[in-house]
Chains A and B, each alone.
Chain A
């Protein structure tokens, strides 16, 4: 089955810095790559996603890049703010109907 590795497990940055979280996956059939943000006491919330026919997608301060050949994708957050502090999960879907396999999560701490 699909295996998703996520690094780093924790990331501390200063407000205004950039943050990058990387994930690698094993199944070349995976074609959908969402990123979720989970705040304390809440369920995960989709923040950005990308499909395998696109190499990069940007939404304001957030961007995701995908390298299908190397089977890895990354989340980039620029100009980080304290409210970006949360746990971020990458995920993949190799079924086409949203059976997601999640990474282990990255705890991001943005200090003022």
Chain B
């Protein structure tokens, strides 16, 4: 158990819909990362937040957005869903302290199926 929790575990929805994925980082971790894992694209970095502020962006579609709240949990919002958005979505957290190892701890993931 990494200490990172993600809900829900599975999500089945229809094209055009909007969903919200939730992540609670490990206690004490200020940085949260979101990744998408699909068979054709592999494991891709989407976005990173640090202490409530967006820190880095990867290949995140405009239909996707995220935020990190004052209690440090994060949500990833996916809208106007398409079949190709079906994937595993992982959240990871790290301390990201200067000079620290800054290992990323991954949650168990949310499996999104768009029908």
Q: Which residues of A contact B (CB under 8 A)?
A: 34, 36, 41-46, 49, 89, 95, 97-105
State the B residues within 8 Å of A (CB): 2, 4, 31, 33, 42-45, 48, 50, 55-56, 58, 90, 92, 94, 96, 101-109
Interface of A is mostly: loop
| 10 pairs from A and B in contact (CB 8 Å cutoff) | A42-B108, A43-B2, A43-B4, A43-B107, A44-B90, A49-B101, A89-B43, A97-B56, A102-B43, A103-B42
Q: Would you call B107 and A98 a contact (CB within 8 A)? A: no
**Which of chain A's residues has its CB closest to B41's CB?**
A104
Are the C-beta atoms of A98 and B104 separated by less than 8 Å? Answer: yes
Question: B44 to A45, Cβ gap below 8 A?
Answer: no
Q: Which residue of B lies closest to A43 (CB)?
A: B106
User: Which residues on the B side are within 8 Å of A36 (C-beta)?
Assistant: 106
A98–B55 alpha-carbon span in the complex (Å) = 10
Enumerate chain B residues within 8 angstroms of A98, measured Cβ to Cβ: 31, 33, 48, 94, 96, 102, 104
B44 to chain A, nearest CB (A): 7
In whole angstroms, what is the CA distance A45 to B107 when docked?
A: 9
Residue of A nearest to B4 (CB): A43
A87, B81: Cα distance in complex, Å: 28
Task: Tell me the complex Cα distance, A36–B45, Å.
Answer: 14
Q: A97-B56, A99-B48, A100-B104 are in contact. Are A45 and B42 (CB under 8 A)?
A: no
User: Does the CB pair B55–A45 fall under 8 Å?
Assistant: no
Contact B33 A44 (CB under 8 A): no
Given contacts A97-B55, A97-B102, A100-B33, could you give 20 more A-B pairs where the C-beta distance is less than 8 Å? A34-B103, A41-B108, A43-B2, A43-B90, A43-B92, A43-B107, A43-B109, A44-B106, A45-B106, A46-B105, A49-B101, A89-B43, A95-B56, A97-B31, A97-B56, A98-B94, A98-B96, A99-B45, A99-B56, A104-B42
For A97, the chain B residues whose CB sits under 8 A away are 31, 48, 50, 55-56, 96, 102
In the bound complex, CA of A25 to CA of B93 (Å): 24
> What is the distance, in angstroms, from B30's C-beta to the closest C-beta of chain A?
11
